[in-house]
Amino acid sequence: MRPMGHALIFDSGVGGLSVAAEIRAHLPHLQMTYAADDIFRPYGEKSEAQLKARLPGLLWQLTETAQPDIVVIACNTASTTALTEIRAALDVPVIGVVPAIKPAAALSRTKTIAVLGTPGTVQRRYVDDLINDFADGCRVILQGSVNLVDIAEKKLSGETVDIGWIKTELAPMFSGRHGADIDAVVLACTHFPLLKDELKASVTQSVQWIDSGEAIAKRTEDVMRGLVLKPARKGPDVALLVGPDTTPARIRTFKDFGFERVVALM
Ligand code: DGL
């Protein structure tokens, strides 16, 4: 029997929906509240100090509001920057995203992988440590892009994505030295799996695109199995948007991902 319970899924915007979809597939009975910190996006351009100052308090407020059994930080930038601080502020278990460097390194035949994240994530010590621990013997190319976050937001707000925009973002990675050897790309931002079709269409060489969504879903399932759950709450899954980014197309997107009510927290 799969656990029921209630999870709060958090990101700066729609990126965490790529994780929420995986969690829903693994835990169909789980109630989910989604929270998007629209007003402070993009996180990838914020300093470590800014994120450490904002995230513990915001997550505490959201947790008080939603009363979940577990919190999933479905954001690489937040996880690689402020997971310790967020955990210290909350009294429920907190799961973070770990960029999928280990599986990418194991899978690469050319032993040349790229880590495509936000500019913040690819600079973090956390990512250096993962590379040292799990990508020994691999060449690792780090590529930060904040525009891809915006492009994913546009796509999920109903705008058409121009493949030329994606090619421009990927060009430094693939046309740089050793770019032709890259055979695995770690999608180290949860917005990027939402662009997987466009990413695939924009490169000619054979590349595997690896994200952490399924691994987080499995981790969430494991952690939830060990919890004494709060009494079940009835009601729809809700998306809480911190800010006024509530165009009809964007609200539709949250509904399509199963969040039947969308509430703007101003
Ligand atoms: N989706 C986020 C991540 O995984 C953050 C994107 C941003 O706000 O820059 O890093």
Dihedrals phi, psi of 16, to nearest 5 degrees: -65, -15
Q: Is 145 in the pocket of ligand 1 (CB under 6 A)?
A: no
Share of the chain above pLDDT 70, in %: 98
The alpha carbon dihedral of 195, 245, 265, 234 has a sign of negative
pLDDT-based confidence at residue 3 (cuts at 50, 70, 90): low
Residue among 75, 80, 83 to mutate when testing ligand 1 (max atoms within 8 A of CB): 75
Token couple for 215: 């691994």
Q: What is the mean pLDDT of the chain?
A: 95
- Please indicate whether residue 42, judged by its CB atom, sits closer than 6 Å to ligand 1: yes
Is the pLDDT reported for residue 234 higher than 80?
no
Per annotation, catalytic residue among 17, 100, 138, 189: 189
Global pTM reads 0.96
At 28-42, the pLDDT tens digits run: 999 999 999 999 999
Contact 166, 148 (CB under 8 A): yes
138 classed as catalytic: no
Q: Which atom in ligand 1 lies closest to the alpha carbon of residue 40? A: 8
Closest among 220, 223, 213, 221 to 257, alpha carbons compared: 213
Q: For ligand 1, is residue 41 a contact (CB within 6 Å)?
A: yes
What is the DSSP-derived secondary structure letter of residue 180? G
**Tens digits of residue pLDDT in 192-233:** 999 999 999 999 999 999 999 999 999 999 999 998 888 777
Q: What is the pLDDT of residues 138-172, one digit of tens each?
A: 999 999 999 999 999 999 999 999 999 999 999 99
Q: What percent of the chain has pLDDT over 90?
A: 92
Asked whether the predicted pLDDT for residue 8 surpasses 90, the reply is yes
pLDDT value, residue 116: 98
